[in-house]
A and B are shown apart, each in its own frame.
Chain A
Amino acid sequence: DADVTQTPRNRITKTGKRIMLECSQTKGHDRMYWYRQDPGLGLRLIYYSFDVKDINKGEISDGYSVSRQAQAKFSLSLESAIPNQTALYFCATSALTGSKAGELFFGEGSRLTVL
């Protein structure tokens, strides 16, 4: 089983619909992140969380919200999806301490298409 699991892997939706992307991890990491990847724009940080009570905006948080339900779960919501939110979304985790502190581990991605 994957250490970082994202659901759904693919979703097609319509403009204005509410969408939730979920992420769960078995690595025991405190830090979790949501990124989106667009051709020509690379990966950009949407939100990140360093523990259950800590949520921070990234560089492109407008139009998104997140919830850290538990150490292992971090969900991303689009309250009213729009076509320019069509992208590949990645969840990632990292450890706070240890020799591998800061090393990011990514899920397989969730491909979202907004029509």
Chain B
Amino acid sequence: KQEVTQIPAALSVPEGENLVLNCSFTDSAIYNLQWFRQDPGKGLTSLLLIQSSQREQTSGRLNASLDKSSGRSTLYIAASQPGDSATYLCAVFNAGNMLTFGGGTRLMVKP
């Protein structure tokens, strides 16, 4: 059974810092990996999708990498802003057509 772990569970940084969120998964036979953002009480917003054949994706200040062989992905956020405060979730889509979510990293960016 696929297990997805996100470290750290919570992170507080001052505005302007570059930061890295980590996601690890136990079964490397994945089709893709997706990073989401969730604001309190809200739905999930897709940030980046990395197909299994890709190594990274970029969108604005966000960059996500994927290393299937080691079962790891990182989400890099450059020049963090208070508006980036949210919970960030990674999810892997694997054989059996199941999307397995990590527990999330709760990010607070202080002005």
Task: Flag the segment in B12-20, B42-50, B67-75 that touches A.
Answer: B42-50
Indicate whether B63 reaches chain A with its CB closer than 8 angstroms.
no
The verdict on A74 contacting chain B, using a C-beta distance below 8 Å, is: no
A90 and B43: CB pair below 8 A?
Answer: yes
Establish whether residues A102 and B93, one from each chain, have CB atoms under 8 Å apart when the complex forms.
Answer: yes
A104 close to chain B: CB less than 8 A: yes
Q: Are B31 and A104 in contact (CB under 8 A)?
A: no
For chain A, the count of residues having a C-beta within 8 Å of the partner chain is: 25
CB B7 to nearest CB in A, in angstroms, measures 14
Binds A, one of B21-29, B76-84, B99-107: B99-107
| Interface residues on chain B, size class | 20 to 34
How many cross-chain pairs have Cβ atoms below 8 Å apart between A and B?
53
In the bound assembly, the distance between CA atoms of A111 and B42 in angstroms comes to 10
Contact pattern, A 73-102, Cβ under 8 Å of B = 1, otherwise 0: 000000000000000101010000000111
In the complex the two chains form, is B97's CB within 8 Å of A48's CB? yes
Alpha-carbon distance between A112 and B102 when the two chains are bound, in angstroms: 23
On chain B, the residues within 8 Å of A56 by CB distance are: 97
Encode B29-52 as 1/0 by CB contact (under 8 A) with A: 001101010000111111001010
Q: Are A100 and B98 in contact (CB under 8 A)?
A: no
Residue from the list B42, B49, B51 in contact with A109, Cβ < 8 A: B42
Give min CB distance, A94 to chain B, whole Å.
Answer: 9
* Residues in A1-55 with C-beta less than 8 Å from chain B: 4, 33, 40, 42-43, 45, 48, 50
The 8 closest A-B pairs by CB, nearest first: A106-B44, A103-B49, A106-B43, A108-B43, A43-B101, A102-B32, A42-B101, A42-B103
Chain B residues in the interface with A (C-beta under 8 A): 31-32, 34, 36, 41-46, 49, 51, 89, 91, 93, 97-99, 101-104
Query: Which A positions have Cβ atoms within 8 angstroms of B?
Result: 4, 33, 40, 42-43, 45, 48, 50, 56, 58-59, 88, 90, 92, 100-109, 111
